[in-house]
Structure 1
């Protein structure tokens, strides 16, 4: 199989191909695959990597490193394997091991992963993935911890019907329902995103939560859709996935089929068609549209795990919210959204009637 130095020996790389040292290191590993010396590869994406984590396999020999303003690339070799680690400044990383046998490649990866400590973010911090598509380099996923309150802490932000529906959703367990779509609809500023953050916290023991920043691109690009829904299957075996698609009014309103082409069909296929069959994926969508304006296929019986109208708080509910937040319970007498109540709490006031306030990204 060759010694570590023989496996990592230099290639004659033309400067017309690359002048970047990190690409040269990757080319050394690629050459070992294409020539058949090390034909088996295992790759793992690592999210929110602890600063002290070591990505060097035990008993490896360093072949070379390359560093720029954004990442550190390291190539090392051992008996019958090469390992390329790419560590981004934002805490994300990847490890690719090529080896003479698939068993050896898997073992080297596991040796590295077994030494990486887990980060304890505490009860109020939840890791969330953020997907986006780049025209130049395709699909990307970055993980960040987000702040999320417990359900009991935010229950008072919602009207009685919405709170009851959310309580059932928060206690949902995998496999207990056939529906794969969560539909939250209602005016801006009523707390739809707040509820989704809390849902990520309540489900974190069994579900990975990812926010797709460009849902319009997701359903227009087949490769992007497949990467998001299938691309990290091996790393998440046994865990469900919740994909968050916010403000998808154009995708799911009544005329969406004509306006969006195949986008709506792919969404429906993901939730209960062939694409979603056998995949432990749940899709949560928020929209400001009224339910009557949505495409009937989206809300048909059996498709939705939950369909929740998130509206303003009524008079008594508003009074309770104000009292719970240390304010006179008659500071607002009309129904109000969560955004409006927060505005009052923060001293902006409603001048005796409901007015539009920016809900912010967290509502």
Structure 2
């Protein structure tokens, strides 16, 4: 298990040593803006939804389960008020009297990331609403799951964490371009350091049976590397547009992912996880770095594009492999072919 790739990286330790560079008091007024957050019913995604809605945005919770989404939206009514109470100096928060006008604007958008046709359908459902799209936060994903193939026949971490988001995002891209200024935030992980540099993403094995696959953490790591590569390739394509794309490692957050980490039967990973979780952020704190990329005026003022951030709102260099334009383009081409059903091997 190549944890040395992570532990030897000084940027790992800077996650805990660098100061906080963004807070809930810094989030600007988002009234009139429309946002989509994937994986929005719990943890980081839910905390992001609460913050965006609390500052006036119309937020779509893009996820599989309608019941969980409705429960999350109900909880959000209370949690938005709690955020207002906890941060009374916030410049532009949803106020109590806004509840007399109908409360926060929250809606469910059914999204299945493990099936590219359904991811495309979800995007088209949103497009049918004729709304702008100012903020897209690609938060949804899986970790430490048993080997499986998606509906499209791809290794599940890569298929859900990357391909589903690739299709969803690119289908929405023209609307985002029409809604400028706009932001796209792609959540990755420090685990993007794990894939060995001589392999990076093993494109030939993504549709192979389990016996030909690398171990779980390498599979997860290559999906997170794909997130970084996709973010950089997308930022380059949008460099002349008023659309700012950035990538985030949110830190280790004490959410459902904690249970997934501790579920591993790999002793080295289990030990690593227990140490890592001692330093875990709350979901509210963990959401601040994605929120910085999604809302901070500094992103536009400094024209920050295609960068990688760790908590809280600290820009750092990612795995050097991710800077390879050739690898970024190889992934983009592969993903386009996968979306068209042209990958047969």
Q: Which protein is bigger by CA-based radius of gyration? A: 1
Higher relative contact order (CA 8 A, sep 6+): 2
TM-score (normalizing by structure 2): 0.28
TM-score (normalizing by structure 1): 0.27
| Structure having the larger proportion of residues in strand | 1
| Structure having the larger proportion of residues in helix | 2
